[in-house]
Structure 1
């Protein structure tokens, strides 16, 4: 192979690597900047806990994540009251303990305080999921 051919191959390889890694970086930046929906956090948490997602009850309602120990409702902090009710209902229907996967970010301290007040009284496990 001539020096020109080697030089050309090397240049093409560098160009490919630059394009590949720049696109990968751009995708990672886009993924981080996109608002994630409830299902994203539900899936990530449930997988880490080894649970079953979207467990269907006899009345056709769905537990966001069912583990060996917990029936977990996943919700954003602003829906704290709804999350409490659903977690208690799912626990009752499954015979598991109630839990909430609570999606929180900056400024959600008041919701965390509210949900913890009730969770302490009714023995609901709170799993904080950071935005």
Structure 2
């Protein structure tokens, strides 16, 4: 019993108290009149498809992965690529800088939005 309690405490401390990615998808996509988890013919899913953008949403540490996914989704939908980076604005600035530097360096057609990880009600 002691081991279980200690393990639970350690796991709780090691993971930030953010919501699930899907919670952020629902919030952002609804505000932007998009369709959540739009399914593509190859069974992959765009996190949010709006009239203008195919948007990938990821937590800050997954900034590089978001680039590839958003470009792929844009190529499949004919929409512009977009990334919503979910960050703790006090701690995760480096991820946003990396994302923007990579996009600028490679002149990638990706629009970026930032969502505060504390945005969930």
- What TM bracket, shorter-length normalisation? 0.7 to 0.9
The reply on whether 1:99 has 2:82 as its aligned counterpart is: yes
Partner Cα distance (1:60, 1:40) in 2:
21
SS in 2 for 1:122: coil
The TM-score with structure 1 as length reference comes to 0.72
Q: Take 2:18 and 2:65, find their aligned partners in 1: how far apart are those partners?
A: 21
- The corresponding residue for 1:126 is 112
The count of corresponding residues between Structure 1 and Structure 2 is: 98
1:71 aligns with 2:54: yes
> Which region of structure 1 is more displaced relative to structure 2, 35-44 or 118-127?
118-127
For residue 119 of structure 1, report the CA deviation from its aligned partner: 2.5
Task: Point out the structure with max Rg over C-alpha.
Answer: 1
Point out where structure 1 has 5 or more consecutive residues left out of the alignment.
Answer: 1-33
- State the Cα deviation string for residues 61-115 of structure 1 (Å, max 9, x = none): 0000000100000000000010010000000010000000110112211111110
Partner of 1:82: helix, strand, or coil? helix
Query: Is residue 117 from structure 1 mapped to residue 104 from structure 2 by the alignment?
Result: no
Alignment partner, residue 59 of structure 1:
42
Deviation at 1:35, TM superposition (A): 2.7
How high is the TM-score relative to the length of structure 2? 0.78
Which one has a larger percent helix, Structure 1 or Structure 2? 1
